[in-house]
């Protein structure tokens, strides 16, 4: 049996069952007893937890990802470490992976693929805008929910795997989706995620992967040196524009790839609105190396020298996780790679020679950088006037620009154009001021959720204070106050009431129960479950006969008071508390699991600290009845006893 099943983490999360396992961590279904909800908990494997530096990075990366809040990203609720166990708490997804969905679905319609890739790119756009790169986008890390929405999982965790996985193990599943620069062990940016998303789109459209091989290395080499079949060669029903979007996303040259997730979303949105849209500019870009570059001779000796220099650099590279580190250990494979690169370059030389004569037919213009300009000012630039046409396709919120300024352009600055001289842009939207809402009287969790929906990355702090105006648990004060303009990254302090600091308990025995309960709560007392008495010749139904705190007693706000009420209704119940001694054999354990049994039925299971000498439970029953009760403490049954109600 798994050592963690039934374990309680931080006296809050009860691990129920193992639901997934990977190279770095195991995932458990768990119950959060504080918020009474089911969650998923990812626990770092013990062999990795022994590495202090890895544990630090695991925590830092998880805390960074916990700041992400988007409908298409699996949420992280908590990051913690207890008793040598490092774990993160995530939302529990009711669904399957995109990989499982594709396997069950078989052939996927291009409309469905468009629906999924758009949501994936929205999630990536949100993460990239906050400086977080996924590094391991693949169908296994994308969850499909029952309503057809998708969520990207394992943000931030993949970057840790870079330094610990080998080609013979976890990389084999990911290598089909890695970018060429990732295969070469180079520094990654957001465009690497875009390449992987392009491969996912390719697989959804065609039902197959762009590159296959017998080993991770052979697949990686294909990412570096091969061009896959175009999707329409496999499935002619795929619209031409969607094929172009896919091939641009997975271009081996990252400078010709989409430069941002938002840029790819722009084209996806254009295609969604009009599947016949002309995206021929992509084809022009993809063939630019053939049509626009001057013919030049490239000696084979230069190719060999470049490969040799690259191999020398790799000798100093200590990143054992990169694919070339593996190749370095296999000289035969390194030789094959060098020969492959040389062959590809020679092919390009032949192509350049064949197409070089057409290079001078149209003059090439370089696309200028117009970010930060208004459309009117950009149209006055000498590099724009009489050459390019600026087309505004929408507005975007961006705190780095003023309203009306261009915040995004497509094509990007530096691209060359011989035709299709249209630059599509997004301009900064007019800022809508977000003000601090009135949260007084809300419970803390609801108030926090209301603030988080503004997507301002607010730093929310909770404090407590006594209050005679607000009952315990309610927000009694906010800083800043309601109506104050909120800015990105502001700190918001929510003060939660602890109830009155001191309460003089009045007499409740002259009241009906409902009135007594309302008056007690108004004063700041916590009203416990009432007890009932069924014999009093002078009382009427619902009268308060006694109170657990004597009148005139001074108590702190939030103190519990229990009323004894006269009642004889058939559906009323009484409670009898039974205490059980904890066996000495369990006294040293962190937690103990106790099942409370009544008439051979388990009525509740609770987790207690092993330091508790006794554990108790309030059994409920109808007046005039009796029951046999006992408890099982860590599976060991106590003596049974009969209790009367």
* Structural domain contains residue 295: no
Q: How far apart are CA 226 and CA 211, in angstroms?
A: 8
pLDDT value of residue 337: 52
Same domain, 105 and 242: yes
Same domain, 86 and 34: yes
* Least confidently predicted of 86-95, 266-275, 307-316, 411-420: 307-316
Angstrom CA distances, 60 to 48, 131, 223, 452, 455, stand at: 15, 14, 31, 21, 21
pLDDT value of residue 108: 83
Q: How far apart are CA 363 and CA 360, in angstroms?
A: 7
Strands 422-428 and 389-396: what pairing? parallel
Percentage of the residues of the chain whose pLDDT score is greater than 90: 27
* Of 34-38, 168-172, 248-252, 565-569, highest mean pLDDT: 248-252
* Structural domain contains residue 562: yes
Same domain, 238 and 108: yes
What is the pLDDT averaged over residues 347-364? 47
Give the CATH number for residue 11: 3.30.200.20
* Structural domain contains residue 215: yes
pLDDT value of residue 259: 93
Same domain, 242 and 324: no
Same domain, 467 and 548: no
Tell me, rounded to whole angstroms, the distance of Cα 573 from its chain centroid.
45
Tell me, rounded to whole angstroms, the distance of Cα 61 from its chain centroid.
12
Q: How far apart are CA 56 and CA 69, in angstroms?
A: 23
Same domain, 243 and 142: yes
**Number of helices (H), then strands (E), in the chain:** 20, 33
pLDDT value of residue 584: 82
pLDDT-derived band at 260, boundaries 50, 70, 90? very high
Beta carbons of 516 and 545 less than 8 angstroms apart: no
Residue 611 has pLDDT above 80, yes or no: no
Count of structural domains, the chain: 7
Beta carbons of 497 and 471 less than 8 angstroms apart: yes
Strands 416-417 and 365-366: what pairing? antiparallel
Residue 599 has pLDDT above 50, yes or no: yes
Which of the residues 2, 10, 136, 267 is marked catalytic? 136
Tell me, rounded to whole angstroms, the distance of Cα 77 from its chain centroid.
9
Same domain, 243 and 127: yes
- Domain limit, last residue, from 42, 62, 92: 92
What is the pLDDT averaged over residues 315-329? 42
Same domain, 448 and 412: no
pLDDT value of residue 156: 54
* Least confidently predicted of 93-102, 180-189, 255-264: 180-189
Beta carbons of 406 and 372 less than 8 angstroms apart: yes
* Structural domain contains residue 292: no
* Structural domain contains residue 245: yes
User: How does pLDDT run across 419-431, given as a tens digit for each residue?
Assistant: 778 898 888 887 6
pLDDT value of residue 340: 54
* Of 302-306, 358-362, 459-463, highest mean pLDDT: 459-463
Residue 310 has pLDDT above 60, yes or no: no
Q: How far apart are CA 173 and CA 449, in angstroms?
A: 37
* Least confidently predicted of 71-75, 379-383, 470-474: 470-474
Tell me, rounded to whole angstroms, the distance of Cα 587 from its chain centroid.
39
Beta carbons of 41 and 8 less than 8 angstroms apart: no
Residue 21 sits at φ, ψ, to 5 deg, of -145, 140
User: How does pLDDT run across 330-343, given as a tens digit for each residue?
Assistant: 444 545 554 555 44
- Domain limit, last residue, from 43, 60, 92: 92
Residue 303 has pLDDT above 50, yes or no: no
Tokens representing 150 are 């998708």
The helix or strand, by DSSP H or E, that contains position 449, with its residue range, turns out to be helix 444-452
User: How does pLDDT run across 213-227, given as a tens digit for each residue?
Assistant: 766 777 777 777 777
The backbone region for 572, taken as left when phi is positive above 0, alpha when psi lies in -120 to 50, beta otherwise, is beta
Range of the structural domain that residue 440 is part of: 434-497
User: How does pLDDT run across 157-175, given as a tens digit for each residue?
Assistant: 544 444 433 333 333 347 8
User: How does pLDDT run across 46-77, given as a tens digit for each residue?
Assistant: 777 777 777 777 777 677 777 788 889 998 88
pLDDT-derived band at 25, boundaries 50, 70, 90? confident
H helix runs in 30-167, sequence order: 46-49, 52-65, 98-105, 110-129, 158-161
Query: In this structure, is the dihedral angle defined by the CA atoms of residues 257, 263, 267 and 272, taken in order, positive or negative?
Result: positive
* Of 316-330, 336-350, 475-489, highest mean pLDDT: 475-489
* Structural domain contains residue 531: yes
Same domain, 131 and 262: yes
Residue 149 has pLDDT above 70, yes or no: yes
Beta carbons of 153 and 119 less than 8 angstroms apart: no
Same domain, 327 and 472: no
Give the CATH number for residue 638: 2.60.40.2560
* Structural domain contains residue 267: yes
Q: How far apart are CA 392 and CA 404, in angstroms?
A: 11
Same domain, 123 and 172: yes
Same domain, 109 and 219: yes
Q: How far apart are CA 561 and CA 546, in angstroms?
A: 11
Residue 299 has pLDDT above 50, yes or no: no
Residue 346 has pLDDT above 60, yes or no: no
* Structural domain contains residue 63: yes
Averaged pLDDT of the chain? 80
* Of 31-45, 47-61, 329-343, 579-593, highest mean pLDDT: 31-45
Q: How far apart are CA 451 and CA 484, in angstroms?
A: 13
pLDDT value of residue 359: 41
Give the CATH number for residue 410: 3.30.10.20
Q: How far apart are CA 415 and CA 286, in angstroms?
A: 11
pLDDT-derived band at 487, boundaries 50, 70, 90? confident
Residue 569 has pLDDT above 80, yes or no: no
SS3 542: coil
pLDDT value of residue 199: 95
- Secondary structure string (H, E, C) spanning 153-219: CCCCCHHHHCCCCCCCCCHHHHHHHCCHHHHCCCCCCHHHHHHHHHHHHHHHHHCCCCCCCCCHHHH
Annotation marks residue 600 as catalytic: no
- Domain limit, last residue, from 497, 518, 535: 497
Tokens representing 548 are 């657990």
């Amino acid at each position: 049996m798994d050592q963690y099943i039934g374990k309680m983490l931080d006296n809050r999360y009860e691990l129920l069952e193992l639901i997934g396992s990977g190279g770095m961590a195991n995932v458990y279904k768990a119950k959060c007893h504080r918020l009474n909800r089911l969650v998923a908990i990812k626990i770092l494997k013990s062999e990795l937890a022994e590495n202090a530096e890895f544990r630090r990075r695991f925590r830092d990366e998880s805390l960074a990802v916990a700041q992400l809040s988007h409908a298409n990203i699996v949420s992280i609720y908590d990051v913690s470490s207890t008793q040598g166990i490092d774990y993160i708490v995530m939302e529990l997804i009711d669904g399957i992976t995109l990989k499982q969905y594709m396997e069950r679905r078989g052939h996927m319609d291009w409309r469905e693929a468009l629906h999924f890739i758009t949501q994936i790119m929205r999630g990536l756009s949100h993460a990239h805008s906050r400086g977080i790169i996924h590094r391991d986008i693949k169908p296994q890390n994308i969850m499909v929910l029952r309503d057809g929405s998708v969520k990207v999982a394992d943000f931030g965790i993949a970057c840790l795997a870079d330094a610990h996985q080998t080609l013979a193990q976890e990389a084999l599943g990911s290598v089909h989706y890695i970018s060429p620069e990732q295969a070469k062990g180079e520094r990654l940016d957001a465009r690497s995620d875009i390449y992987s998303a392009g491969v996912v789109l390719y697989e959804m459209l065609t039902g197959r992967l762009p590159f296959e091989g017998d080993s991770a290395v052979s697949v990686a080499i294909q990412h570096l040196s091969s061009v896959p079949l175009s999707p329409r060669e496999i499935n002619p029903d795929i619209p031409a524009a969607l094929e172009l979007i896919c091939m641009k996303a997975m271009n081996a040259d990252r400078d010709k790839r989409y430069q941002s997730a938002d840029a790819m979303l722009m084209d996806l949105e254009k295609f969604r609105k009009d599947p016949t849209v002309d995206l021929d500019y992509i084809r022009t870009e993809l063939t630019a190396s053939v049509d626009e570059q001057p013919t030049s001779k490239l000696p084979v000796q230069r190719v060999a020298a470049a490969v040799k220099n690259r191999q020398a650099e790799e000798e100093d590279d200590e990143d054992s996780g990169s694919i070339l580190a593996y190749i370095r250990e296999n000289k035969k494979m390194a030789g094959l790679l060098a020969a492959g690169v040389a062959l590809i370059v020679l092919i390009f030389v032949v192509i350049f020679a064949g197409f070089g004569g057409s290079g001078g037919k149209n003059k090439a213009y370089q696309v200028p950088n117009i970010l930060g300009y208004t459309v009117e000012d950009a149209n006055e630039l000498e590099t724009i006037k009489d050459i390019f046409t600026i087309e505004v396709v929408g507005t975007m919120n961006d705190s780095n620009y003023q309203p009306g300024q261009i915040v995004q352009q497509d094509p990007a600055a530096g691209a060359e154009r011989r035709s299709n001289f249209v630059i599509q842009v997004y301009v900064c939207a007019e800022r809508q001021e977000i003000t601090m809402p009135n949260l007084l009287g809300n419970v803390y969790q609801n108030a926090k959720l209301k603030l988080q929906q503004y997507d301002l990355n607010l730093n929310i702090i909770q404090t407590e204070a006594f209050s005679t105006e607000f009952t315990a648990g309610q927000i009694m004060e906010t800083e800043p106050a309601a109506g104050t303009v909120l800015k990105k990254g502001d700190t918001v302090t929510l003060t939660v009431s602890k109830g009155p600091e001191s309460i003089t308990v009045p007499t409740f025995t002259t009241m009906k129960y409902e009135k007594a309960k309302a008056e007690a709560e108004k004063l700041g007392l916590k009203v416990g479950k009432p007890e009932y008495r069924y014999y009093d010749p002078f009382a009427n139904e619902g009268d308060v006969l006694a109170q657990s705190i004597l009148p005139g007693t001074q108590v702190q706000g939030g103190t519990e008071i229990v009323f004894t009420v006269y009642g004889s209704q058939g559906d009323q119940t009484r409670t009898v508390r039974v205490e059980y001694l904890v066996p000495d054999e369990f006294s040293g354990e962190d937690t103990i699991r106790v099942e409370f049994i009544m008439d051979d039925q388990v009525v509740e299971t609770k987790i207690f600290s092993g330091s508790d000498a006794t554990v108790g439970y309030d059994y409920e029953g109808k007046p005039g009845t009796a029951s046999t009760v006992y408890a099982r403490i860590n599976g060991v049954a106590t003596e049974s006893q009969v209790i009367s109600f």
